[in-house]
Structure 1
Amino acid sequence: MTTTSLATMEIERLLARHPKGYDLSLDRIRQLLAKLGDPQKRLPPVVHVAGTNGKGSVSAFCRAILEADTRSVHVHTSPHLVSWHERYRLGRQGEPGRLVADDVLADAVMRAARANGDDSITVFEVLTAVTFLLFSENPADVAVIEVGLGGRFDATNVLERPAVSIITPVSLDHQSFLGDRVELIAAEKAGIIKPGVPLVIGQQSERVAVDVITSIADRNGAPVKLYGEDFFAFEERGRLVFQDDIGLLDLPLPRLPGRHQLSNAATAIAALRSAGFDPSEDAIAAAMGTVSWPGRLQKITSGPLFDAMVPGGELWIDGGHNPGAGAVISEVFANLEDKVSRPLFLICGMLNTKDPTGFFEAFGGIARRVLTVPLSTTDAGIDPEELAEFALDTGLDGEAVESVEAALRLVSDNWQVQPAPRFLICGSLYLVGEVLEKSGLAPE
C-alpha cells in the first residue's frame, strides 16, 4: 500500500477539502451516518476503548485473545503509522483479520464523502463513518473500536450500547481540547460510559481519575471493574498471574515488553469477561505469545537505520509522546540497564502540541543524551533546536541534528568504547512511522 493507492488518493481529496483536525461534536457525524443508513446500528458487539495511554495495546490484546478463541474481530485504531489502511482491520472467520483491501477502503471513503456532500465536517469524522460502513458490511463476531480523542465528543461515541467500555490509564495530553487537569481529562474519557453497560478501568496513576470515572459510572448505573481492586496482574517466576473474582490464571508473559503491558493484558481479559465473551484460558494463554502492536517498544533488527548504527548496538522505537508514556517507557529502559549496562541515546521528534518537558523529565538519570530531529511528514513538529532546549532545561544533554540517520552516524562516528549504545527513537507516531517505512516494516 503506497501513497498512490486508490484509498490514499481519495483521502487526500478529503484532506484538501475538509480540515484534518478535531472539532469535538457529535452533530456532524450523526447527520452523515443518517445519510448512510446509520451503519453504526448494525455492528457486531463492540468493545469501546478510551484512555490517554495503552488504548492500542489493550485493543491489540483484545483482538489477540478473541482470535485465539476462534472469533473473527474487526479493529479500528488511530492514528496510523505508515498507511491509512492500518486504521481498519477486518475480521475473517477461522483466521486472523487483515487490513482492509485498497479497493474496499477507497469505495467506502468515496461513498461517505459523496453522502456528506458540501456539509461542514472533519476528515476524522468521515473516516469514522467509514469504520462503521466497513464493519457493518463485513460480518464478524466482535468489533474493537478505539476512541480517537477524548471520549465524550469523539466521533466514535455515537455508539449507543457497546458490549463493554474500557478506560485505560489517563494522564495529561491534548490539553487544548480536553483540559489541563487530570480530572478534566478523565471526565472527557468517561463520556463513553453508557447506562447499564459494563465498564472496565485500567491501572490509573492518579486517584482523582478513578474518582471522577467511577462517579460518572455510578450515575449511569454502569457496573465497574477496577484494576487493583476487582482484578490484578503481577509477574511471578517468569509468568503473568491474573486474578479476579473468578479465580487465578497462570499465563505466559506477554510478548509486548514492559511491566505496563501486564496491566494492559489484565484490562483486556477483564473487559472480555465483563462483556460475556468468556474466552478460554488456553486462548488467553496463546494470545500472550501472538499479540502484536507495532511502533510501541519495538526493537528494529534490520534495515538501513539499523545498519547505520554502532555495530553491536540496539535500536528501539516507541511512539509515546506524553508524560505518562515517558514514565512507562523510561522504566522499561531502566530495567534493561540492569541487565546490560548500555548507554541510552534518545532520538526524538515531537509535535508542537505536546509537552516535551514532562516527557524528558522521565528520562533523568537514564538517558545519556537527547538528539532532536525534525518530523519530515508534518509541518507541525517542534523545531529541533527548540526541542533540544527543552531537553537541556530538564537536565539532559540535548543536541539538534538534521535527521535520524544523522543522529545515528554522529554517535557511531564518536563512540569507540564498549558496550555499544542503545538507541530509542521516540516522541511522535509520525517519527515512528517514518522509521518503520524506511526499515521496510510497515504494519500488515
Structure 2
Amino acid sequence: MENTQLPSLVRRVFQYRDLETESTEAEYEAWRSRFMRKRLRLGLWIALVAFFSSTLLQLGNLLFQTHEFRPDWVRSQVAIEISLLVFLLLQRSSFGRRYPSAIFLGFYWSVTIIPQIPYTLTGSAEPDILVWTLMFFGQATLIPVRWSLHLISQLGVFAYYLGLNTAVGVQLSTPADWMSPAVLALYFFWVCFVGDLSVYLYESLQKAEFKARRNLEEAYHKLEAEQKLSESLLLNILPQSIVERLKSEPKTLADSFTDVTVLFADIVGFTELSSRISPPELVELLNQIFSEFDRLADLHDLEKIKTIGDAYMVVAGLPEDREDHVQAIANMALDMQQAIASFNANTQQNFSIRTGIATGPVVAGVIGIRKFIYDLWGDTVNLASRMESHGIPGAIQVTEDTYNRLKNEYLFQERGLVKVKGKGEMKTYLLTGRKVEN
C-alpha cells in the first residue's frame, strides 16, 4: 500500500510546485505589463514634449531666422506628434491595456521611420544616426522590458531603411564621407547590442527581485499566520491580559486578588463508567460535557482554570475585577446542572455533578517554564474543593460567606454543619435556584 501511495504523493508535491511556479510567472507577467504601460505613457509624453519643443524652434526660425526654417522638418515633426497623440489615446484604451507591445512598436517606429518617408519619396535616403541612437538607448533605459521587443523594433527600422528603400530603388548614402557602410553597420550593431543587453540584464534582475519580494511576502504571511495560531493556542491556556504581560515580561507572574469566587465541579459516576466502556468513548463523552461547560463559561464571562480528570474548575473576579463575580458563578453552577440534565436526556446516560463554591482571596499566576498554566492558590481554592468533595451528587454546596452574598437573590437549602478536612465543622448551604431570573 505504501508503494502505491508514494508515487501519488510525489506527483502531488511536484504538481503543487508547478502550480506555484505558474502562479509566480503569471503574477510577474501582470506586474511587467503594468510597469510597461506606465513607462510607455511616460515615454510618449517625453517624446511628444521633445518634438513639440523642436517644432516651436522651427516656428521661431520662421519668424526671426527665415533662412534656417525647414518646412519639411516641421511637416515630419507634426506627423510624429500626431502619431504620438494617437498612441497616447490608444494606450489608455482597452486595446492598449491588452496589447502594450503594439503601442511600444508603434511608438518606436513612428519616431524612427516617419522622418525617413520624405527621403524615400525623394529617392535619396540616409540613416538618422542621432534620432536612432537616442531611441535605441532611450527606450532601453526608459522601458527596460522584453529585450526581444527592443530587438524586433530595431530590426523593423533597418528593414525599412535597407529593405523597402532598396526595393523601390532609393539611393542609400552615409551621413559622412568617412563613415563607410561597414563602419555604419558596426556602429549600429554595438548600439543595438548594448541596448538589448542592458534590457536583458535589467529584466533578469527585476524578475529575480520580484520573486524574492514575493517569497519574502509569503514568508511574512506564513509567519504572521503562525504567530496568530500560536497566540490563539496560548489564549486557550492563559487569559489575554496574562499573555500580554508574558510577552513584555517573560518571567513568573503572580497577583493577589482579595475577592473572587471559585467553583469546582466533579462528574459523579464517571470513574465507574470508565470500567464499562472503551477509552475513546469515555473521552468523547467527557469532551461533550466539558465543551458545553466551556460554552457556559464564555457565556458568563468566566475564567476557566483547568480540568483534572473529570473535575472542572472555573473562577470569576480575575484576572479582571468584577462586582458580580458571586452571582456569575452561581448562574454558572445552575446552568451546569441544566446542561448535564440535557446531556443525559440526549445520550441516555445517568450522570450528575457535585459542585462546590467558595468566595474569598486567592493568589493567581503562572509558574514554571514548561507546560505552564494559569492557576490559583489559597484557602479559598481549598474551601471550594472541599465544598465539592464533601457535597451531595446533583447539588451545589456553598460556604456561609457565599450564601450571605447570594441569599437575597437565590434560593437555598440549609444543609447544616459539615465536617470539612482541615477546617473542622462548617455551616454550609445548598444552592437550589434563582428567586428572580437574572
For Structure 1 versus Structure 2, the TM-score category normalised by the shorter chain is: under 0.3
Structure 2 length normalisation: TM-score? 0.16
Structure 1 length normalisation: TM-score? 0.16
The structure richer in helix per residue is 2
Query: Which one has more relative contact order, counting CA pairs under 8 Å at least 6 apart?
Result: 1
